[in-house]
């Protein structure tokens, strides 16, 4: 299938599926000043983990490279292109792409996010399909959006869909940038793009406590839940299945709530348990993990008390309510001036809540802080702001 003759709306699609082909393509791409980039990935939908499935790069001159990472042993030539700050990378809604690249050790430079650009222009919906339709009157086929990108061989429909995600981005960027410059908001976009480049992938802290109703468990039950959450993850990796496909989240919390249940009965009468976990060998592993967790909890004297402040709410006083109303009024003023959807880039409810509690505006976006302070001034308000050494995101 590599180098198969395939085109989409005038763009030649070139499939790259070997180390040699990637080195050649990367050498060509390093000569470009601007590239359109997109990733297809699987994030615990069909397989275990957060994994790269495909990379699409359009050079803006009629060639779209579809890079299949699965048969390629060394992606460093591609990463060198992505990390080159002299090459602008046009991406639409780049957050997850950047996080996955960072997870893989690739730190992108030169980001230009057209989704952010659309939001700066107050798009109600900023999807690629919406922007294409509104700016160019073009409708695109998104039927492959939920495709399983792990499967091989890739179909012609998948390749065309993958190409569509990048072959129009140069035109979209040019159109949106023209309007942003006209409105004097280019520095907004530049700051947003710079912040996107600073994104780093981190594993969530205490992910077991993020499961629904986990906060209702006592300390002992949460200890059991943490151990069985880790066991499930090991089995999910072994089966190459998303963890909730091995044991559903609600079933895992139920088990922690009743850790003395009969394991064999529980495995065979709980909906959604993966069949491989019911095999005798894995059932024994499951029983051993549960028993070990209970013994360790006893040895470590884990309490059966419930955590305090399980339903923690922000402090409410006349002063916090006054500050909340004050910044809400500022938010409405900004919304009227810039539009509802643009205003969400500038400030959101978490910023208002934080200000109501602290009495200080904490915002790491300079342009957004300037807008908030200007709006407050126009309303005759004084908004104290945190020093730059104490940054916090506006949204």
**What stretches in the chain show pLDDT beneath 70?**
1-4, 309-312, 387-395
* Pair 337, 372: CB distance under 8 Å: no
Q: Residues 6 or more apart from 387 whose CB is under 8 A from it? A: none
The predicted model scores a pTM of 0.92
pLDDT digits (tens, 9 = 90+) for 62-82: 999 999 999 999 999 999 999
Q: If residue 264 lies in a helix (H) or strand (E), which one and from where to where?
A: helix 263-269
Whose tokens are 């993958």? That residue is 162
pLDDT of residue 5: 73
Distances from the Cα of 89 to the Cα of 68, 75, 115, 193, 337, angstroms: 19, 17, 13, 10, 31
Q: Residues 6 or more apart from 360 whose CB is under 8 A from it? A: 384, 385, 386
Residue spans of the domains in the chain: they are 6-197, 207-299, 318-378
Rounded CA-CA distance 241/249 in Å is 14
pLDDT digits (tens, 9 = 90+) for 271-315: 999 999 999 999 999 999 999 999 999 999 999 999 986 556 778
pLDDT of residue 390: 43
Burial of 39 (0-12, 13-18, 19+ CB in 10 A): buried
DSSP 14-46: EEE-SHHHHHHHHHHHTT-SEEEEEEEEEESSS
φ/ψ of 342, rounded to 5, equals: -65, -35
**Assigned CATH topology for domain 207-299:** DNA polymerase; domain 1 (1.10.150)
pLDDT of residue 393: 47
Instruction: Report whether CATH 3.30.420.10 matches the domain 6-197.
Output: yes
Rounded CA-CA distance 393/383 in Å is 17
């Amino acid at each position: 299938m590599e180098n198969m003759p395939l085109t989409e709306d005038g763009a030649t699609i070139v499939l790259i599926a070997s180390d040699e082909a990637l080195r050649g393509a990367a050498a060509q791409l390093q000569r470009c000043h601007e590239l359109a980039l997109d990733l297809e990935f699987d994030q615990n939908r069909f397989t275990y983990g957060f994994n790269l499935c495909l990379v699409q790069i359009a050079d803006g001159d009629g060639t779209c490279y579809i890079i299949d990472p699965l048969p390629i042993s060394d992606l460093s030539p591609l990463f060198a292109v992505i990390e080159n700050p002299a090459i602008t990378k046009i991406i639409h809604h780049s957050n997850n792409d950047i996080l996955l690249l960072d997870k893989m050790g690739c730190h992108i430079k030169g980001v230009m996010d057209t989704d952010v650009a659309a939001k700066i222009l107050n798009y109600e919906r900023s999807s690629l399909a919406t922007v294409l339709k509104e700016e160019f009157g073009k409708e695109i086929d998104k039927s492959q959006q939920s495709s399983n990108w792990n499967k091989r061989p890739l179909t012609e429909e998948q390749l065309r869909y993958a190409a569509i995600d990048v072959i129009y981005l140069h035109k979209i960027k040019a159109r949106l940038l023209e309007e942003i410059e006209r409105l004097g908001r280019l520095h907004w976009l530049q700051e947003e793009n710079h912040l996107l480049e600073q994104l780093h992938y981190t594993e969530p802290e205490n992910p077991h406590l993020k499961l629904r109703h986990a906060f209702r468990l006592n300390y002992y039950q949460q200890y059991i839940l943490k151990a069985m959450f880790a066991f499930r993850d090991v089995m999910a990796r072994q089966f190459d299945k998303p963890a909730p496909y091995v044991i559903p989240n609600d079933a895992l919390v139920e088990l922690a709530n009743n850790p003395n249940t009969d394991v064999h009965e529980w495995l065979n009468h709980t909906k959604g348990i993966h069949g491989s976990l019911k095999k005798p060998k894995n059932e024994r592993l499951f029983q051993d993990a549960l028993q070990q967790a209970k013994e360790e909890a006893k040895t470590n004297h884990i309490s059966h008390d419930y955590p305090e402040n399980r339903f923690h709410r922000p402090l409410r006083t006349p002063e916090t309510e006054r500050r909340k109303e004050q910044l809400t009024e500022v938010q409405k003023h900004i919304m009227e001036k810039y539009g509802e959807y643009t205003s969400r880039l500038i400030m959101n409810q978490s910023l208002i809540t934080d200000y109501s509690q602290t009495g200080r505006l904490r915002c790491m976006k300079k342009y957004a802080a300037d807008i908030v302070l200007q709006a407050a001034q126009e309303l005759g308000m004084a908004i104290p702001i945190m020093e730059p050494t104490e940054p916090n995101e506006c949204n």
